[in-house]
């Protein structure tokens, strides 16, 4: 094997790897194939565009790096790579889900966990960035439909955020906060969540609502100041 000639000067392509990998994951990896596979998958994930980053296991196996290192159509190499993937999944580096009998890999992160959850529920599919809101069980719109109608399209991670919000706030509060955000033309979830936090911490009564109507600048104070221009 000829020695590496060195890295080129100037602007070159970079790969983003979470810093925690070097401090919390790398020290525990002893198998060379697991380490190689982990780095290959991290590079492939980093190269993905869009709100949901994933790679298909077949694409990993057919990648130039894997083909060069292990050769094509080698049963022994495939078994070695499958074992390395199993170790990486058990270690918690990646998450795996199945789509149409095909293995899909995600980084074990909030975004990756949200994508796996959405895929398992059937509300998202690889190649489609937007989340499909589940149909309302009654004539009353659900939180997903309200968000899409008032704020914009949903992604899997936003859908998970909304599910968590439902545990902390009533549907009535969420609907009113969404409407208030639209009224003030601040169409983002951070602003809606700031309204909900403010109501939870300071109370929300009829008097407060009248005062808010008379003095709308009240909402630019405190938590909400970060989310609107004034």
Model pLDDT for residues 68-86, shown as the tens digit of each residue: 888 777 788 899 999 999 9
pLDDT band at 217 (very low <50, low <70, confident <90, very high): very low
Domain count, the chain: 2
Asked if residue 43 is part of any domain, the answer here is yes
Based on the domain organization, do 179 and 88 belong to the same domain?
no
pLDDT tens-place string over residues 201-213: 888 754 344 444 4
Asked if residue 3 is part of any domain, the answer here is no
Asked if residue 14 is part of any domain, the answer here is no
Residues 177 and 151: their CA atoms lie apart, in Å, by 11
Asked if residue 129 is part of any domain, the answer here is no
User: Which domain covers residue 166, as residue numbers?
Assistant: 143-226
pLDDT tens-place string over residues 96-141: 998 888 899 999 998 899 889 888 887 777 765 544 544 444 444 5
Residue 25: count of CB within 10 angstroms of its CB: 18
> For every residue of the chain, which 3-state class applies, written as one string?
CCCCCCCCCCCCCCCCCCHHHHHHHHHHCCCHHHHHHHHHHHHHHHCCCCCCCCEEHHHHHCCHHHHHHHCCCCHHHHHHHHHHHHHHHHHCCEEEEEECCEEEEEECCHHHHHHHHHHHHCCCCCCCCCCCCCCCCCCCCCHHHHHHHHCCCCCHHHHHHHHHHHHHCCHHHHHHHHHHHHHCCCCCHHHHHHHHHHHHHHCCCHHHHHHHHHCHHHHHCHHHHHCCCC
Based on the domain organization, do 51 and 90 belong to the same domain?
yes
pTM over 0.85? The answer is no
For the chain, first and last CA: distance in Å? 64
């Amino acid at each position: 094997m000829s020695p590496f000639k060195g890295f080129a000067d100037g602007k070159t392509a970079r790969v983003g790897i979470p810093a925690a990998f070097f401090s919390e994951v790398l020290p525990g990896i002893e198998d060379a194939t697991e380490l190689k596979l982990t780095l290959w998958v991290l590079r492939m994930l980093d190269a993905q565009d869009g709100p949901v980053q994933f790679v298909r296991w077949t694409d990993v196996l057919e990648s130039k790096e894997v083909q060069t290192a292990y050769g094509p159509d080698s049963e022994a190499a495939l078994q070695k790579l499958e074992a390395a993937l199993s170790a990486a999944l058990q270690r918690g580096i990646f998450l795996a889900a199945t789509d149409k009998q095909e293995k899909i890999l995600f980084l074990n992160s909030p975004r990756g966990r949200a994508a796996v959850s959405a895929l398992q529920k059937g509300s998202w599919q690889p190649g489609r960035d937007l989340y499909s809101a589940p149909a309302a069980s009654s004539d009353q719109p659900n939180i997903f439909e309200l968000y899409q109608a008032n704020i914009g399209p949903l992604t899997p991670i936003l859908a998970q955020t909304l599910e968590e919000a439902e545990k902390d706030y009533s549907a009535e509060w969420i609907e009113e906060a969404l409407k208030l955000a639209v009224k003030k033309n601040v169409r983002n979830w951070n602003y809606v969540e700031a309204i909900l936090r403010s109501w939870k911490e300071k109370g929300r009564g009829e008097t407060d609502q009248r005062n808010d109507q008379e003095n709308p600048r009240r909402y630019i104070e405190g938590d909400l100041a970060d989310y609107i221009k004034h």
